[in-house]
């Protein structure tokens, strides 16, 4: 029962979403809207799960960690609770809230992402090797497209942007479209497996 | 020598990339800008909007992606402001609405009237479910805006009940939910044109949607932002960044070339793997 | 221009340099900044989650007496039963609803937008090299992923062609990714040089 009932629920809700799209009966559409609203509220609760996990992990690190672990984990929990309290009490558009959002969160995450610029350069040097025809096509396509993407490419040879655009809009389009349609069919198949209860891994845990 | 090069400290590569980006930023070369057809299409779409019409601008990105999209978003907002378009802002990433506040503050909208000319409705949880929910009933999905005002009382929301009441949807996009979700839940079923300013990683995936007409224009990363700025006759980070893009692209290509020379050089001796 | 006197800019600059310093070597400043920003990120999610629950769940209940919102509110609380082994199974109900809605919406949308529209746009007149390439390339990639039939004879050639087409796509993906990564770095450098140090405009 503990597995069958949720599976039945997912099936009912999923079918409602599909059916309400094709039949415009008022009660069906209203029911779909209500259930979607429920989905929004449940998803909002899910946003807190990450915090609970973080508190569990970092509270343990404060107690049992080595070296400066207590400081890092303490800073994490402190900043999390601090910003949460500030946002809940004063609102997320309050000046102080936006200040910390802009001063810590934005530069922190933006720089972490920016660092991947270093890693892609390192990978370009160490891993991008012409070992066979496939790799040669990949490399040639990448090189021409890169030169087509930036103004200096046009200065080197006026045809780089033209060929780059062609590569992007003809062969790349065909490749992407094949993958898009393939992934679409695959997605529908795996979606149906979920709705029909064949695939239950999202329920996790034991089968009790 | 090849063995030595193959074992080169990764930090030397980092330093070279750092310099290839820094030098052109500090001492610009002025290599110019080319405008892509997809950027021109979005520009023309915005140009053709009637003053007073409403546009949804959805900030569907995190600070990580926003670093790449800020210049495009700014150019786009300035254009919408110049055209006298009402912007209905929202976001389906939890970080979206705060970034939207930053974007509005850095654009010409800062001189306009909040609540009348533009609004920030905030974040709706639930990814694609949330987009579908919003599409049918905007004020019902956002009873209050991000600043805490009652949404139905905002003049900007006059005549807006569903996504069908806006002339265009623009998603500032760096992941999921993004363009495919907007097309699935709003563009195709409701017939609302969808456009995007999007991170470069996702640009190749967008070509099928551009060719099929499901996407009505795109600002691809910094290249698109530079193009949009030049169409607007302004100069922002898009244009200023393109010199650094040029030099860093050449640097990466040189690294690929050198890597392959080293590979071929070492292959003749004991064959060496790719490594990290 | 001159160096910034704004405290927020300074904090952001220290955060930026702290994260960048990881490229040289893992160090305490990097670890501290990383942890603080992850904390702020999680705290921000909590705030936005709370606002969604307040505006769409609690307010309709308290001000309009909309009793049906008690269902999602209760289901939302059930998500947290996962932390107790004994009653963790209860968290499957809200999960089932989320998965059911998401899957249903994705299926119905995918059929139209990702399959029908894309197939329709591939039905092109074969009167130019480009159109022929688009049609053959798309068919080639689909053939490559079609495992139900052994790829021999003509089918093998089509599938190999599909693989080459995909290599062009992967090359395009790499080329675009470089642009994206560099754009991100330029954004940070511009912040440091213009907003913080004031050495450029």
pLDDT digits (tens, 9 = 90+) for B83-141: 999 999 999 999 999 999 999 999 999 999 999 999 999 999 999 999 999 999 999 99
Q: Which two tokens stand for residue B230?
A: 């030049």
Residue C82 contacts B where some CB pair is shorter than 8 Å: no
Q: pLDDT-based confidence at B4, cuts 50/70/90?
A: confident
Which residues on adjacent β-strands are paired with residue B144? Answer: B150
Q: Across chain B, which distance is largest between two alpha carbons, in Å?
A: 76
Interface of A with B in 131-160 (CB under 8 A): 139, 143, 146-147, 149-155
Percent with pLDDT over 70 in chain B: 97
d(CA C49, CA C70): 17
Q: What pLDDT, in 10s, does the model give residues C46-100?
A: 999 999 999 999 999 999 999 999 999 999 999 999 999 999 999 999 999 999 9
Mean pLDDT of the region C123-136: 96
Q: Which residues, numbered 44 to 103 in chain A, qualify as contacts with chain C under a Cβ-Cβ cut-off of 8 Å?
A: 44-52, 54, 68, 71-73, 75-84, 87-88, 92, 97, 99-103
Q: Calculate mean pLDDT across residues C17-34.
A: 95
Q: CA dihedral defined by B46, B161, B193, A18, rounded to 10 degrees?
A: 160
Instruction: State pLDDT tens for residues B201-239.
Output: 999 999 999 999 999 999 999 999 999 999 999 999 999
Q: C181–A202: do the CB atoms touch at under 8 Å?
A: no
Of A88, A111, A138, the CB nearest to C188: A111
Helix (H, G, I), strand (E, B) or coil at B193: coil
Specify the pLDDT at position C118. Answer: 97
For a pLDDT cut of 90, what percent of chain C falls above it? 93
Q: Given pLDDT bands bounded at 50, 70 and 90, which one contains residue A2?
A: confident
**Are the Cβ atoms of A170 and C133 closer than 8 angstroms?**
yes
Partner residues linked to B218 by β-bridges: B196
Is A40–B148 a contact, with Cβ atoms under 8 angstroms apart?
Answer: no
- B249 has a chain C CB within 8 A of its CB: yes
Rg (CA), chain C: 27
The radius of gyration of chain A from alpha carbons, rounded to an integer in Å, stands at 26
Judge whether residue B153 has pLDDT over 80: yes
The structural domains of chain B, with segments of one domain joined by +, span 2-30+240-267, 37-235
Of A54, A12, A49, which Cα lies nearest the Cα of A31? A12
The distance of C18 to chain B (nearest Cα, Å) reads 16
pLDDT recorded at residue A24: 79
Question: How many pairs of residues across B and C have Cβ atoms under 8 Å apart?
Answer: 145
Check CB contact under 8 Å for A6 and C31.
Answer: no
Computed on alpha carbons and rounded to an integer, the radius of gyration of chain B in Å comes to: 22
Residue A21: per-residue pLDDT:
85
Q: Do B184 and C113 touch (CB under 8 A)?
A: yes
Mean pLDDT over each residue of chain A, to the nearest integer: 93
Given CB atoms, is C182 within the 8 Å cutoff of chain A?
A: yes
Instruction: For residue C133, give the nearest of A102, A174, A208 by CB distance.
Output: A174
Contact of C139 with C111, CB cutoff 8 Å: no
Phi-psi sector, B212: left (phi>0), alpha (psi -120 to 50), beta: alpha
Q: Whole-angstrom Cα distance, residue A11 to residue C103?
A: 9
Chain A contact for C130 (CB, 8 A cutoff): yes
- Are C188 and A107 contacting, i.e. CB atoms less than 8 angstroms apart? yes
Q: What does the alpha-carbon distance between residue A4 and residue B232 come to, in Å, rounded to a whole number?
A: 58
Q: Identify which of B64, B68, B143 has the shortest CB distance to residue C55.
A: B143
> B120 vs chain C: nearest CA distance in angstroms?
14
Query: Is this complex scored with an ipTM above 0.90?
Result: yes
A30 CB burial (10 A radius; 0-12, 13-18, 19+): exposed
pLDDT of A114 above 60: yes
pLDDT band at B275 (very low <50, low <70, confident <90, very high): very low
pLDDT tens readout for residues C150-159? 888 888 999 9
Q: Spell out which residues of chain B touch residue C189, defining contact as CB-CB under 8 Å.
A: 21-22, 25, 244
C-alpha to C-alpha distance for B93 and B70, rounded to whole angstroms:
15
- Inter-chain CB proximity B123 and C48 less than 8 Å: yes
Residue A208's pLDDT is what? 39
Q: Which of A9, C54, A41, A40 has its CA nearest to residue B132?
A: A40
pLDDT for B269 equals 65
Residue C193 is nearest to which of B26, B189, B249, comparing CB atoms?
A: B26
How many residues appear in chain A?
208
Alpha carbons B240 and C84: distance in angstroms, whole number? 54
User: Does the CB of C183 have a partner CB in chain B at under 8 Å?
Assistant: yes
Please report the DSSP string for A55-121 in residue order: HHHHHHHHHH--TTHHHHHHHHHHHHHHHHHHHHHH-TTSHHHHHHIIIIIHHHHHHHHHTHHHHHH
Which helix (H) or strand (E) covers residue B56, if one does? strand B54-60
Asked if the bond preceding B177 is cis, omega within 30° of 0, the reply is: yes
Q: Which CATH architecture has domain B37-235?
A: 3-Layer(aba) Sandwich (3.40)
Contacts of C98 in chain B (CB under 8 A): 126, 129
Is the per-residue pLDDT at C193 higher than 50?
A: yes
When mean pLDDT is compared across A123-127, B163-167, B183-187, C192-196, the lowest value belongs to A123-127
pLDDT tens-digit map of A52-85: 999 999 999 999 988 899 999 999 999 999 999 9
CB contact under 8 A, A113 and B65: yes
Burial letters for C3-20: b for 16+ Cβ neighbours within 10 Å, e otherwise?
A: ebeeebbebbbbbbbbbb
CB atoms within 10 A of CB B275: 8
Question: Is pLDDT at B272 greater than 60 in this prediction?
Answer: no
Q: Is C142 on the interface with A (CB under 8 A)?
A: yes
Percent of chain A past pLDDT 90, that is, above it, reads 86
Q: Which chains touch C (3 or more CB pairs under 8 A)?
A: A, B
pLDDT, residue B276, reads 41
Q: Tokens 């052994």 belong to which residue?
A: C150
Model pLDDT for residues A37-53, shown as the tens digit of each residue: 999 999 999 999 999 99
Nearest-Cα distance to chain B for A64, in Å, is: 32
More confident site: A92 or A203: A92
Q: How big is the CA angle at A126 (ends A122 and A131), to the nearest 5 degrees? A: 145
């Amino acid at each position: 029962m503990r597995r069958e009932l949720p599976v039945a629920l997912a099936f009912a809700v999923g079918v409602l979403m599909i059916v309400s799209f094709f039949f415009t009966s008022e009660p069906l559409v209203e029911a779909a809207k209500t259930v979607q609203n429920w989905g929004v509220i449940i998803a909002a609760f899910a946003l807190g799960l990450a915090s609970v996990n973080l508190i569990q992990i970092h509270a343990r690190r404060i107690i049992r960690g080595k070296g400066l672990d207590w400081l890092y984990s303490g800073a994490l929990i402190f900043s999390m609770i601090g910003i949460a309290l500030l946002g809940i009490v004063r609102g997320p558009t309050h000046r102080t809230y936006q200040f910390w959002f802009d001063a810590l969160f934005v530069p922190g995450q933006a720089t972490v992402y920016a660092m991947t610029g270093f890693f892609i350069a390192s990978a370009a040097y160490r891993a991008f090797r012409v070992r066979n025809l496939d790799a040669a096509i990949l490399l040639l396509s990448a090189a021409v497209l890169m030169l087509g993407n930036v103004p200096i490419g046009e200065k080197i040879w006026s045809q780089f942007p033209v060929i780059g655009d062609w590569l992007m809009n003809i062969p790349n389009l065909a490749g992407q479209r094949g993958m898009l349609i393939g992934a679409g069919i695959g997605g529908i198949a795996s979606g149906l497996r979920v709705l029909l209860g064949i695939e239950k891994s999202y329920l996790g845990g034991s089968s009790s | 020598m090849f063995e030595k090069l193959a074992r080169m400290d990764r930090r030397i590569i980092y330093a070279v990339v750092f310099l290839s980006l820094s030098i052109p930023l500090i001492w610009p070369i002025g290599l110019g800008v080319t405008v892509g057809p997809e950027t021109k299409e979005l520009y023309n779409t915005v140009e053709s909007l009637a003053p007073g019409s409403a546009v949804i601008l959805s900030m569907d990105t995190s600070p990580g992606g926003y670093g790449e999209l800020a210049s495009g978003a700014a150019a786009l907002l300035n254009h919408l402001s110049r055209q006298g378009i009402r912007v209905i802002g929202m976001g389906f990433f939890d970080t979206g609405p705060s970034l939207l506040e930053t974007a509005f503050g850095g654009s010409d909208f800062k001189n306009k009237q909040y609540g009348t000319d533009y609004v920030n409705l905030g974040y709706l949880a639930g990814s694609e479910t949330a987009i579908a929910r919003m599409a049918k009933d905007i004020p019902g999905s956002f009873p209050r805006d991000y600043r805490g005002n009652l949404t139905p009382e905002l003049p900007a929301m006059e005549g807006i009940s569903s996504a069908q009441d806006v002339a265009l949807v623009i998603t500032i996009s760096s992941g999921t939910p993004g363009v495919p979700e907007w097309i699935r839940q709003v563009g195709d079923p409701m017939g609302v044109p969808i456009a995007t300013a999007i991170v470069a990683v996702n640009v190749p995936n967008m070509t099928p949607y551009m060719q099929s007409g499901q996407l009505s224009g795109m600002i691809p990363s910094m290249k698109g932002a530079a193009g949009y700025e030049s169409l607007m006759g302004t100069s922002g980070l898009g244009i200023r960044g393109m010199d650094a893009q040029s030099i860093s692209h050449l640097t990466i290509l040189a690294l690929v070339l050198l890597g392959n020379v080293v590979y071929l050089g070492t292959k003749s001796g004991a064959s060496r793997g790719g490594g990290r | 221009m001159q160096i910034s006197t704004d405290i927020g800019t300074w904090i952001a600059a220290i955060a930026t340099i702290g994260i960048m310093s990881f490229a040289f070597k893992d160090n305490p400043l990097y670890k501290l900044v990383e942890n603080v920003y992850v904390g702020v990120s999680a705290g921000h999610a909590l705030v936005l989650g709370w606002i969604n629950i307040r505006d769409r769940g609690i307010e309709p209940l308290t001000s309009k007496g909309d009793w049906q919102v008690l269902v999602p509110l209760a289901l939302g609380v059930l998500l947290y039963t996962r932390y107790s082994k004994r009653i963790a199974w209860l968290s499957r109900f809200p999960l089932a609803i989320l998965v059911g809605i998401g899957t249903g919406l994705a299926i119905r949308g995918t059929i139209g937008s990702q399959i029908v529209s894309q197939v329709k746009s591939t039905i092109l007149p074969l009167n130019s090299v480009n159109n022929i390439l688009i049609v053959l390339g798309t068919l080639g990639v689909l053939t490559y992923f079609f495992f139900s039939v052994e790829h021999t004879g003509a089918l093998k050639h089509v599938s190999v062609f599909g693989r080459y087409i995909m290599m062009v796509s992967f090359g395009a993906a790499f080329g675009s990714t470089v642009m994206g990564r560099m754009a991100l770095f330029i954004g940070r450098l511009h912040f440091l040089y213009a907003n913080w140090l004031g050495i450029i405009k």
